[in-house]
Structure 1
Amino acid sequence: MKRLNVIGCGRVGQTIARLLFEKKQITLQDLHSRNLSNAEKAASFLGAGHPTPNLADMRSAEVWMLSVPDSQVAHVAQQLADTLSPDAPPAIAFHCSGFLSAQALAPLHAKGWYVASVHPVLNFAAPETGIRQFAGTPCALEGSALAVDWLRTHLSAIGGVCFDIDSAHKALYHAAAVFASNFTGVLQGIAQDAWRSAGVSPEMVQTLNRALLTSTTDNLLALGPAQALTGPAARGDTAVVHAQAAVVEQWNPVAAQAYRALSELAVSLKQNGTTLLPP
């Protein structure tokens, strides 16, 4: 059984480490975070692992998980590479960024390590909920074949549904996830703000939001985006679209930009079955 070291003790890292440990896929060894108290809290949650204040003091391991913010992945990879002795055996290292490819771990790859990235497509609100929700989670993989194969085997064992993505297109892949998930919350926020500004009571705002979100989600899953799409833009009612955009402009100019752009995409989706506009 391989030893796992964890750098970065956030929600994603704790969830994956806990499941790998519970399912006896790894032996949990050292835990490092910029704030030692975070590593100590993680050790308590994981039920294993040794909080290590300095990255340079982490012991040798066969597998390393870098669960750190995107802006820190390359920096931490370089720090780790700088601590390695010349005779250190090659290991597997992976990060959990949805945007970055395994290329961010280039300093470790240059040392002969096998590098990869995994992006679990799940909203990790907290590790306590993450470990309950992880089963069935799609996990995007790319990188060195040996590292990807190891991840596929062991993530599948904890309930992940692994699939390969092209490293060259990972940024676009992640943008799709942002549209599918993150921007949904933004659109709901705009809608709720607009209802409140229109004088709708807080209680009714919640009722309206729940009714529309539930029915829209049901239709999307059953019919697909083009068939499920309704509204003035989908009907070709340009007069309403222009008039409504002007009203939104007075209320929230930035939201009006989104309204106009989304209306244009809605027309294309309804007419052509795609949001890809002709050049």
Structure 2
Amino acid sequence: MLRVNVVGAGKVAQTLMLLFQKSDRIRVQSVYSRSPESADGAVGLAGVGQAVTRLSDMEPADLWLLTVPDDQITAAAEALVDSGAEPSVVIHCSGFFSSQALAPLAQAGWQVASCHPVLSFADPQTARDQFTGTYCAVEGDAAAVALISDLIVQVGGQPFPVSADKKALYHAAAVFSNNFAVVLQAIAAEAWSEAGVPDVVAAALGDKLLTGAAANVARLGPVAALTGPAARGDQDVLTRQGAEVSAWHPEAGEVYRAMSHLAGRLKASGKTLPDDD
């Protein structure tokens, strides 16, 4: 039986606790949050664990989860050291920070790692239901990585390695793939509106094009999936269209020119990065 303690009782913690509740090989023990109400709420939602009001009240455990906001990870690590807790394995779930954010614990003899599930945690119960097959980026000390990887597999996830010194770039890739795609859809919707396209039609167009693009990228890869004037090398259209976009929305015009340039390079060389020479 793997004994797990949880520090931080937000949506990530709640999701993991809901997942652990289904396993007879995992036992959630102490749950701590700076807000006692949050700890109580997480325990009540998941039906596992015992809320405590002080770090020093937490039981010894095989695994500690520091599911606190990114800017609180190192402070939480320092507080855990100060609490006198027995050294064990500890992980955080930040997509941006590496396991080095847990340096105070590593220096105190703990095995440290990070584990970032690539999933939206907007609603813990929905996230639990969607977790099967979720990819989880892991890095850190070998023993800690092995333990958290086994745990992720137990609850249906798929761990994969990421370089600790490139963690910020890894997270930026997720921003490009997800968050910026949403921003581009908003620009497209606003442009269609400016062009007189009815809102209901614009929504349908955005859905059809985005769904089709995602399917083509998944099936063919980015190079083969790319279409449009940049892929065709139609410079006259790119120049005139870029000017039209800039006149309407200067910032979107900058995005249009940059994306067109990268799209042309992708089609020509198979990558967006410039050649080394």
How high is the TM-score relative to the length of structure 2? 0.95
Counterpart-to-counterpart distance in 1, 2:25 and 2:235? 57
* Residues 251-270 of structure 1: pairs in structure 2 closer than 5 A: 251-270=248-267
Does residue 275 of the first structure (1) align with residue 266 of the second (2)? no
Post-superposition CA distance 1:214-244 (Å, at most 9, x none): 1111111111100010111111111211222
Match of 2:149 in 1: 152
- Conservation of the 8 A alpha-carbon contact between 1:92 and 1:115: yes
Q: Deviations over 1:26-84 (max 9, x none)?
A: 21112222322222221111101222233343333221111122111111111211222
Say if 2:162 is the partner of 1:165: yes
2:5 aligned residue: 5
Equivalent residue in structure 1 for 2:96, among 99, 110, 131:
99
Q: Which AA in structure 1 matches 2:203?
A: Q
Q: Distance in 2 between matches of 1:227 and 1:156?
A: 33
The separation in 2 between residues aligned to 1:23 and 1:134, in whole angstroms, is 14
- State how 1:35-184 maps to structure 2 within 5 Å: 35-84=35-84, 88-184=85-181
Contact 1:138 1:160 in 2 (8 A): yes
| Aligned counterpart in structure 1 of residue 219 of structure 2, from 215, 219, 222 | 222
Distance 2:75 2:50 in 1: 23
Mind listing any 5+ residue stretches in structure 1 that lack a counterpart? none
Which string of whole-angstrom CA distances, capped at 9 and with x for unpartnered residues, describes residues 254-276 of structure 1? 22221111111100100000011
Amino acid of the structure 2 residue aligned with 1:40: D
**Whole-angstrom distance in 2 between the partners of 1:28 and 1:147:** 18
**3-state SS in 2 of match to 1:15:** helix
* TM-superposed deviation, 1:129: 0.7
Q: 1:55 to 1:208 in 2, by over 3 A?
A: same
Shift of 1:186: 1.2
- The whole-number CA distance in structure 2 between the counterparts of 1:73 and 1:198 is 47
Structure 2 Cα separation of the partners of residues 6 and 41 of structure 1: 13
- The answer to whether the 8 A contact 2:132-2:157 is kept is yes
Q: 1:196 is matched with which residue?
A: 193
1:5 deviates by 1.4
Equivalent in the alignment of 1:246: 243
Kindly provide the amino acid, as one letter, of the partner of residue 187 in structure 1: L
Structure 2: give runs of 5+ residues left out of the alignment: none
Paired with 1:218 and 1:196, the residues of 2 have a C-alpha distance of 26
Q: State the 4+ residue runs in structure 1 displaced beyond 6 angstroms.
A: none
Structure 2 letter corresponding to 1:99: F
C-alpha RMSD of matched pairs (Å): 1.5
Structure 2: distance between partners of 1:182 and 1:106: 30
- Normalised by the length of structure 1, the TM-score is 0.94
Asked whether the equivalents of residues 17 and 48 of structure 2 are also in contact (C-alpha less than 8 Å), the reply is: no
Alignment check: 8 A CA contact 2:89 2:110 kept: yes
Q: CA offsets per residue over residues 78-102 of structure 1, 9 Å max, x none?
A: 1211222xxx532111000111110
Q: 2:3 and 2:177 mapped to 1: Cα distance?
A: 35
Distance change >3 Å, CA 8–CA 89, structure 1 → 2: closer
Equivalent-residue separation in structure 1 for 2:141 and 2:257 (angstroms): 43
Contact 2:36 2:51 (C-alpha < 8 Å) held by counterparts: yes
Q: Residue 211 in 1 paired to residue 208 in 2? A: yes
How many Å separate the matches in 2 of 1:234 and 1:27?
54
The Cα of 1:182 is off from its aligned counterpart by 1.5
1:265·1:277 contact (CA, 8 Å) conserved in 2? no
Check conservation: 2:90, 2:111, Cα contact below 8 A: yes
Shift of 1:250: 2.1
What is the letter of the counterpart of residue 42 of structure 1?
Answer: A
- Distance in structure 1 (CA, Å) of the matches to 2:195 and 2:172: 32
Instruction: In structure 2, give the amino acid aligned to 1:264.
Output: H
SS in 2 for 1:3: strand
